Structure 1
């Protein structure tokens, strides 16, 4: 007889009038049963987890048992999506990946190449004018490129700058090209000026830096300039820039 059955039998003694209630037996059996329950409570969580695991695994049929009735397969439940903002609008669509142009020939130089004197191993830093087309700006037809020329004459264009409005031959300074520090061959700061400039001076951190000059072979009024990397670090922005004529007058 189990301990629980012994306790229950002792307590049911009151139901039988011919039996005398043994209070000592009831108290003793009750204390012993409570003590065993407290000891078993330590592993209750582990036992419950084990039972759940058994239920999830399934029922194992024993020899001689009737076949289990077929059950419909469980409905598929989609996994919860991760990192979804509850405030994100429904109309937001994923951004399409950028289109990358491949196997596009480099722009063809118009006029002569200008050798800057800057070298990257066997490659030479060159500046050259190329033709461009800007929608809505019919008077913008040229841009200025900074590229590298390999020993076999092949050109690689690194940066191309051009106006986006007005006229590409208007007097004064036009777009200035700055290196973005993402290339392994930094591009010296460059640009072009239209007019009789004989000296171009840039200001950075309170000091003045003279640029090197060369005239475009097609139009001598287009003065191409660039700054030596030792004088102005590629990518460093100018605080100001001016041009002067042969007499030193500011243009």
Structure 2
């Protein structure tokens, strides 16, 4: 197995700014005069206005970042042996901590590794509905920017197949070192896989899960 290598690519993050404010209430000063019957009221002595209390500008609350999947490898980097101008195609797990996805804790990143071992993030795929470890397919991504179709399967998948361009093909696959029950798979084509199916070591068909294909 290969050792985790810090990634240098950046994954776009969304930032939610939470600001605070201070409500300042002012008090009005009311002056009342007393009149004596049949007498001309004496002019009131001028009253100097009370000095205004200093009002501090509202302090901005610290910004809170809602991060999309990180690009730091979680577990071993899976090499594919497929090389191109950007380097070797690789896959690795990444941690996911997004408030809107409480049941998603990780995703699978597709990227490249240069000859000197530097890993650059490319496309990440993660579950967006329900548990990320429910039996079946998850985070199936169509090919994008030189990266082929890929995803992961939760369960004892010994063989994964799909139809691409009308032909049944077998995916390449590797277990994730952090959780061997998670099987990362990828195809040689960037075209969308249809009819995804997984089988255990005895050839028994496994639950399908989420076979929908996402893009980007």
Scaled by the length of structure 2, what TM-score is found? Answer: 0.61
The answer as to 2:205 corresponding to 1:250 is yes
| Counterpart-to-counterpart distance in 1, 2:75 and 2:128 | 22
Instruction: Note the C-alpha offset of 1:117.
Output: 1.3
Cα RMSD of the aligned pairs, angstroms, is 1.9
The answer as to 2:136 corresponding to 1:172 is yes
Q: Encode CA deviations 1:165-224: one digit per residue, 9 max, x unaligned.
A: 2111111000112223xx3xx101111000011000011243201001100111110001
Answer 1 or 2: higher relative contact order, Cα 8 Å, separation at least 6.
2
Which structure shows the higher helix fraction?
Answer: 1
For these two proteins, the number of residue pairs brought into alignment is: 140
The answer as to 2:173 corresponding to 1:213 is yes
| Counterpart-to-counterpart distance in 1, 2:187 and 2:94 | 21
Pick from 119, 123, 145 the counterpart of residue 83 of structure 2: 119
Instruction: Note the C-alpha offset of 1:139.
Output: 1.6
Counterpart residue number, 2:6 = none
Written as runs of structure 1 = structure 2, the 5 A alignment for 1:136-215 is 136-180=100-144, 183=145, 186-215=146-175
Secondary structure at 2:123 match in 1: strand
Counterpart residue number, 2:195 = 240
Which structure shows the higher strand fraction?
Answer: 2
Q: Larger radius of gyration, structure 1 or 2?
A: 1
Work out whether residues 142 and 193 of structure 2, in 8 Å CA contact, stay in contact via their aligned partners in 1: no
Structure 2 residue runs without a partner (length 5+): 1-11, 14-69, 207-216
Work out whether residues 108 and 130 of structure 1, in 8 Å CA contact, stay in contact via their aligned partners in 2: yes
Scaled by the length of structure 1, what TM-score is found? Answer: 0.52
